[in-house]
């Protein structure tokens, strides 16, 4: 059961990863571009695909999902990042396969904020109002909340996967809270995940001032 809860969180985490908001150290204006940091302003669809397994740890155990894809939209100024669909596959625990399902879509209130840190991320990202549940052997746990993670442009040498020249997001030790479920569901879970982000037609996305 604990594993199930973790998976649920996992899904939430991935989604949240997708909705990350860049937190500025030096509040700069944000513009999302297509093709390069000086390309045309981009407003429209965004697809987030996980890079490696998504892991979730609770006080009882941990679990992983091998595939997670989220689709959504964003404004060119980084506002109104919205997740319209989310799927999670290959989720397992010591109990076997687990069904992870996104709920209460769309998830609204996300954003991207450009605030580069020398030698580090180009900003941070936040996804709000996401809700994900996991079910195993009839036992369900639902987690909901907001996650924040670091965002990287396609050429940032500090990005999670340097073999991919795409915008990327990484959530490290993100925390989500239990929304509903049995007393066996842990109150919180820690999520670690990384994603690559592309435009609706595969466009390379960049954030700049």
Task: Please count the other Cβ atoms lying within 10 Å of the Cβ belonging to residue 187.
Answer: 10
The pLDDT, as a whole number, for residue 60 is: 65
Quote the CA–CA distance of 201 and 207 in Å, as a whole number.
17
Q: Give the predicted TM-score (pTM) of the model.
A: 0.84
- Bridge partners of residue 51, in order along the sequence: none
Q: Residue written as tokens 């695909």?
A: 49
The tens place of each residue's pLDDT in the chain, 209 residues long, gives 444 444 444 444 444 444 343 343 444 699 999 999 999 999 999 999 999 998 877 776 677 899 999 999 999 999 999 999 999 899 988 777 788 888 889 999 999 999 999 999 999 888 888 777 877 777 788 888 888 889 999 999 999 999 999 999 999 888 889 999 988 888 987 788 899 999 999 999 999 99
The pLDDT, as a whole number, for residue 97 is: 79
The pLDDT, as a whole number, for residue 107 is: 92
Quote the CA–CA distance of 205 and 209 in Å, as a whole number.
14
The pLDDT, as a whole number, for residue 63 is: 76
How many structural domains comprise the chain?
1
Give per-residue pLDDT as tens, 3-21: 444 444 444 444 444 434 3
Plot region of 163 (φ>0 → left; ψ -120 to 50 → alpha; else → beta): alpha
The pLDDT, as a whole number, for residue 144 is: 86
The pLDDT, as a whole number, for residue 28 is: 64
Domain that holds residue 200: 2-208
Identify whether the C-beta of residue 121 lies closer than 8 Å to the C-beta of residue 150: yes
Identify whether the C-beta of residue 204 lies closer than 8 Å to the C-beta of residue 154: yes
């Amino acid at each position: 059961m604990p594993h199930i809860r973790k998976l649920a969180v996992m899904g939430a985490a991935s989604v949240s990863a997708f909705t990350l908001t860049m937190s500025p150290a030096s509040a700069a204006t944000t513009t999302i571009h297509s093709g390069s940091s000086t390309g045309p302003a981009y407003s429209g669809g965004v697809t987030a695909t996980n890079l490696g397994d998504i892991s979730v740890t609770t006080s009882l155990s941990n679990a992983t999902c091998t595939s997670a894809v989220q689709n959504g939209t964003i404004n060119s100024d980084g506002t109104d990042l919205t997740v319209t669909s989310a799927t999670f596959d290959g989720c397992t625990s010591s109990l076997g396969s687990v069904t992870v399902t996104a709920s209460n879509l769309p998830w609204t209130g996300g954003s991207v904020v450009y605030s580069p840190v020398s030698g580090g991320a180009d900003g941070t990202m936040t996804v709000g109002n996401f809700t994900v549940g996991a079910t195993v052997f009839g036992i369900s746990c639902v987690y909901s909340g907001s996650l924040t993670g670091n965002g990287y442009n396609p050429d940032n040498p500090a990005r999670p996967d340097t073999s991919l020249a795409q915008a990327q997001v990484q959530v490290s030790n993100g925390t989500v809270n239990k929304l509903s479920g049995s007393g066996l569901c842990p109150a919180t879970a820690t999520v670690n995940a990384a994603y690559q982000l592309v435009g609706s037609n595969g466009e390379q996305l960049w954030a700049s001032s």
